[in-house]
Chain A
Amino acid sequence: MINLTIDRKQVQVESGTTVLEAARSMGVNIPTLCYLKNINKIGACRMCLVEVKGARGLQTSCTTPCTEGMEVTTNNTAVRAARKLVLELLLSDHNMECPTCVRAGNCELLQLSQEHGVSGIRYEGEKHAAHCDCDSPSLSIDSSKCVLCQRCVAVCREVQGVSAISLVGRGFESAVTPFWKTSIDAAACALCGQCTLVCPTGALTEKDDTEKVWAALMDPTKHVIVQTAPATRVAIGEMFGMPHGAIATGQMVAAIRSLGFDRVFDTNFSADLTIMEEASELVSRLQNGGPLPLITSCSPGWVKYAEHFFPDQLDHLSSCKSPQQMFGAIAKTYYAEKQGIDPKDIVSVSIMPCTAKKFEAARDEMNASGYQDVDYVLTTRELGRMIKQAGLNLAKLRPEEYDVPLGIGTGAGQIFGTTGGVMEAAMRTAAAWLGGTDMPRLTFQEVRGEVAGIREATVVINGNVFFLAIANGLAAAGRIMEKIKAGDTRYHFVEIMGCPGGCIGGGGQPIPSEGPDALEEVRLARIKSMYAIDEAQTIRRSHENPAIQELYREFLGAPLSHKSHELLHTHYHGRGPAGVRKAAAASGVKK
């Protein structure tokens, strides 16, 4: 243990703790901009400068380890002047258009400027050449608002292992861009949006589609339906002052209905449908010697990543469309038929925790019904903004129910939104199908877990041994794929989610008001709520969903039927540019 004083107060911390961490642990909030807990510690932004007695000049607390007897001052004239200068300089090179910026509500730069009393910008001058990359259906990069904190670059490299973006150029003209300064669309990017979660400003954001949805809602000739992904309901409340992971299902439904949607449905329904198809696909591959392991394909971030980085391994991926796309296909066929609505008049909107879903919905092959399966995808953040625009306070709304029949989902569908959830849902159904006489198992604790890369588990159901693996975050996905590519055939079934923690940690989820350092904690709270919703449910196995049973009876026939194949399954193809995973040897030690 190390003893030091911060602002004249004694503290004891473990060796290796930085001054920033020590200060925060005692409630002294040193401002930061480039620091990202466990991910980015580069001392770039100079916001966290403090005075350390005896040291030459001010020190960045985010990189300075505590040492015995250290005396730190976090607030004096020199420190305040330094931080203010940094902010003034940043703002002098910033495209300040706060009133029209999506991040104004929780922009860290704006907030810091307020907190530090930046009352005018003494130094004005030329701004760096800005370029705006808005070609992608998922993301926008506007370099005029970038402060070059490099948090996005670090997340993409360290957490996602993709390195689709990098710091490019030097000095005043540095910028974050993909290879050759092309659009992110032309890069080997998963469009997972993890970078948008950590950007402190409006430089990296989801592509905003709210205006298109407003237009559809205001069009009387359109029947506008919506599906909400499992992970959205445990996150949206955060945008309205509710605690992390607050369950806001009923309020969300109420709010959406108030916005003017004709029907409010649930992606949990089509998650159950996915399990029906995917579990059948697993059984069929096991019986007929199809390529194993079978790997889930419901995360479009993961799928796009696989198409860039592992184009020769795509036959492992389940041919099932994601729940979002299954929903879309069913809505414009079965539902349209049942309701007697011409599918061309249906506008299908989905609310997703995900930026990659925007891209998925726009994929060429997603139109089995003859129409685009899903018309517009909004992230949880965009929905939150629409609710605010409509003047609704979600936290105060009286809860309402989803519409039937596409609003009926089970606990199994619900847990799709967390890492291990698809696996557990599949095992529940498998246990029931293969279970023999025993009470089929409901809980598979062994596949659950926190945000921790790769988990392996062996599940035995009535003598059938399943060797399973679960990966979340694309860096982990890459690692497990290397194994599979190298011929590791132990696994039967592998669940891969593109985002850390699964969709609850999706790139379209609300950004914690405390900033992205709170993400770890926030993800855990959301995961907890996912299982809480599941437990409160009476029906917790997908195949027991009455609406699903009815769908098969009335429309699809059986899983993997011809019709299912036509509407609910798809194919993948290698995608350029080819992704390059960093070689382990690229950074090494020469002996």
Chain B
Amino acid sequence: MTAINTTTARINHFADLEALRQVSAQTLAVRTAESVRLPDAEQIQILVCGGTGCQAGKSVATRKAFEVAIREAGLSDRVSVHQVGCFGFCRMGPVVVIYPGETFYCEVAAKDVSDIITHHVMGGNPVQRLLYAPSPKEKVRVQTMAANPFYKGQQRVALKLCGHIDPEDIRESIGAGRYFALAKGLLEMTPASVIDEIKRSGLRGRGGGGFPTGKKWEFAAASVNDVKYVLCNADEGDPGAFMDRSVLEGDPHAIIEAMALAGYAIGAKQGYVYVRAEYPVAIHRLGIAIRQAREVGLLGEKILGTDFSFDIDIRLGAGAFVCGEETALIASIEGERGMPRPRPPFPAVSGLWQKPTLNNNVETYANVPDIILKGAEWYAAMGTPKSTGTKVFAVAGNIMNTGLVEVPMGTTLREIVYGMGGGIPKGKKFKAAQTGGPSGGCIPAQLLDTPMDFDTLVSLGSMMGSGGLIVMDDSTCMVDVARFYLEFTQEESCGKCPPCRVGTKRMLELLDKITTGEGTLEDIDKLEELAAGIKATSLCGLGQTAPNPVLSTLHYFRDEFIAHVVEKRCPAGKCQALTEFRIDAELCKGCGLCARKCPTNCISGEIKHPFVIDASACVKCGNCSDVCKFGAVVH
């Protein structure tokens, strides 16, 4: 539903808000893990994921199929279909959850709908084949989210309503408690006490740097000016991270509420959300949420009958990673080239249009309402003393369960990888995990018990960044990974300052040399020298952190670099120039599978006799090695 019921009156008092909560309270009461299947008269709710991931899997068709099927089965009065936001388990999408009972279905296509209606909705028996099987071999299936190892151990604060409410209906958000923190702030707290609450919660910025959020609010509040701005950084540039997208798609009112609270705390009337243009669904939902909030008076003039007025507009990015850096983001909102500006002056003093400006990340804001509502102590009790609360990680790469995992700060990497993540597929070994995206570094296998918090990660030469967590197995070449990140930062450098513009190019050239077998030991020294120099002299965080992935891989995997330059060998077999594929005649059973999968037909042989590869025609795609069941293809 895009336009809310026009009879919904403007909210002028706390009582209006409370009344509106009641409207959807009952609907939402059904959506708890505890709710059990009650007699047939009970309402059944079918929640279909409408996040970007599931939409890519045609979840819209699935939802429509449900709607049609229910109508045709004459179930409309007791079965309802709801589009909700991302459950964080997008790889298994389209995800469908059915209440009561919280039955969690995966990969539900439109053609599966009739089975669910017949067996589950009408017959009361879950459709086994669509339930999640944690282990592909054992075929044991789990029915509920709570029983699903991916969700077990997660503690959801920022993501708590994602997948739980219809993000396009403000009544559901209010029913789930949104805007009560704003009400509490406006009606019961002073701006200073709001800031104090945030400070005491220990919340630190989730956008990368981990700067204490309360302190930032305090600085912005201290700047004297009639006009101030509140920004929300939804540029989510770290490739592989998608928690901000998920929050905007699944619970946009959390951001609106938190930004309004921030506006109240620092004395701003206007906010902007800067969203990357690559997120059309998030932009669409956020736009709807802002319009609905305005309609009911939760944005605009005199919110909740107080003297506080606040509004929010959306600004779109246009494909520049550097615009996630806050001064570049400000330049971009001003309609200019998104090039970072030197600090001081800090945005808290002179930011957007030279006015004091507060900027926080989406996930940072998503934590704010609960901190105000439940108190700083509640929040600070989670996580570690210096990194309080929870953190969302976007787990991806060579891992069984990819998706969004929200855990208390300080949870170990092992718990994430082998707990929620379900371990490494295809029987391969964990080699390293990369955190912090292009600004971060890697954590090798021997540090699997690292607690994931801001300071520990920095001490290991990585960083939290936005929470991207890329898991790599032993077939990954770490030199190639370092090269990949550097190529990214090099392409995304804004070009303003020479160390980053030219320096990252020179580093990339050195890495290219190494991965193509032209490198020397001297080049490794040069890389380190350059890395240190670029970090020390670059203007903004992009250049200052661009060398990190290289430094970190050099630190933990120096032997791989040495293998590339001295032995001219890529241990992982990824760097094409350094890899030669060969069939071990002892091991080859002569099945011929490799020959069929070879794109250049350069493998020949007779069935039941060892096959051979014609190295001159081999394009080193690795197919043969992947498909051989006997490990006979070596490199």
Contact = CB atoms under 8 A, between A and B. Distances in A.
Interface of A: 42-46, 49, 57-58, 60, 63-65, 78, 81-82, 85-86, 89-90, 92-93, 122-126, 147-148, 167, 169-174, 586-591
B536 A125 contact: no
A192 to B, nearest CB: 24
A86 B498 contact: yes
B539 A46 contact: yes
B493 interface: yes
B320 A170 contact: yes
B425 interface: no
26 contacts: A43-B342, A45-B498, A46-B537, A46-B538, A46-B539, A64-B342, A65-B344, A81-B536, A85-B503, A89-B503, A89-B506, A90-B498, A123-B503, A123-B530, A125-B509, A148-B495, A170-B320, A170-B495, A171-B491, A171-B493, A172-B501, A173-B495, A174-B495, A174-B501, A590-B270, A590-B353
Interface string B471-513: 0000000000000000000111111111101110110010000
Contacts of A125: 505-506, 509
Given A123-B530, A125-B509, A126-B509, A43 B539 contact: yes
A179 to B, nearest CB: 15
B498 A49 contact: no
B490 A46 contact: no
Nearest to B496: A44
B334 A587 contact: yes
A123 B493 CA distance: 18
* Chain B: interface size category: 35 or more
A46 B498 CA distance: 8
A225 to B, nearest CB: 48
Interface of B: 227, 269-270, 320, 334-335, 337, 341-342, 344, 353-355, 490-499, 501-503, 505-506, 509, 526, 529-530, 533, 536-539, 544
Contacts of A591: 227, 269-270
Given A43-B539, A78-B536, A590-B270, A147 B320 contact: no
Contacts of A65: 344
A52 to B, nearest CB: 11
Contacts of A81: 533, 536
A219 B172 CA distance: 91
B505 A167 contact: no
Contact of A90 (B270, B354, B496, B502): B502
Contact of A587 (B227, B344, B353, B530): B353
A66 to B, nearest CB: 11
Given A43-B341, A172-B493, A58 B502 contact: no
B353 A85 contact: no
B497 A46 contact: yes
Nearest to A587: B334
Q: Which 10 A-B pairs have the closest CB atoms?
A: A43-B342, A174-B495, A89-B502, A85-B533, A63-B342, A123-B506, A171-B493, A171-B495, A125-B509, A589-B353
A291 B536 CA distance: 61
A361 B309 CA distance: 62
Contact of A57 (B344, B492, B526, B536): B536
Contacts of A588: 353
Nearest to B533: A85
Given A148-B495, A589-B355, A93 B502 contact: yes
Nearest to A166: B337
A92 B499 CA distance: 11
B492 A171 contact: yes
Given A123-B526, A171-B494, A82 B501 contact: no
A202 B588 CA distance: 65
Contact of B536 (A64, A82, A90): A82
Given A126-B505, A147-B498, A172-B490, 4 more contacts: A60-B539, A82-B536, A125-B506, A591-B227
A21 to B, nearest CB: 15
A167 B337 contact: yes
Contacts of B497: 43-46
B205 to A, nearest CB: 16
B226 to A, nearest CB: 8
Contacts of B526: 122-123
Nearest to B544: A57
B537 A64 contact: no
A591 B311 CA distance: 11
B537 A82 contact: yes
Given A63-B342, A125-B505, A169 B495 contact: yes
Given A89-B502, A590-B353, A44 B493 contact: no
Contacts of A49: 537
B540 to A, nearest CB: 10
B269, B492, B499 — most chain A CB neighbours (10 Å): B499
Contacts of B354: 589
B337, B354, B537, B539 — most chain A CB neighbours (10 Å): B537
Contacts of B335: 586-587
A126 B493 CA distance: 16
A86 B341 CA distance: 18
Nearest to B529: A122
B129 to A, nearest CB: 49
A89 B334 CA distance: 31
Contacts of B506: 89, 92, 123-125
Contacts of B536: 57-58, 78, 81-82
A589 B496 CA distance: 26
B546 to A, nearest CB: 12
A525 B457 CA distance: 60
Contacts of A587: 334-335, 353
A124 B509 CA distance: 9
B501 A148 contact: yes
Contacts of B269: 591
A86 B499 contact: yes
A173 B491 CA distance: 10
Contacts of A590: 270, 353
Contacts of A57: 536, 544
A85 B337 CA distance: 26
A342 B21 CA distance: 98
B502 A172 contact: yes
Contacts of B353: 587-590
A147 B499 CA distance: 12
Contacts of A170: 320, 337, 493-495
A42 B342 contact: yes
Nearest to A49: B537
A64 B344 contact: yes
A58 B342 CA distance: 12
Contacts of B342: 42-43, 60, 63-64
Contacts of A60: 342, 539
Nearest to A85: B533
B499 A85 contact: yes
Nearest to B500: A171
A63 B529 CA distance: 27
Nearest to B334: A587
A199 B273 CA distance: 38
B320, B355, B501, B538 — most chain A CB neighbours (10 Å): B501
Contacts of B355: 589
B520 to A, nearest CB: 14
B353, B355, B495 — most chain A CB neighbours (10 Å): B495
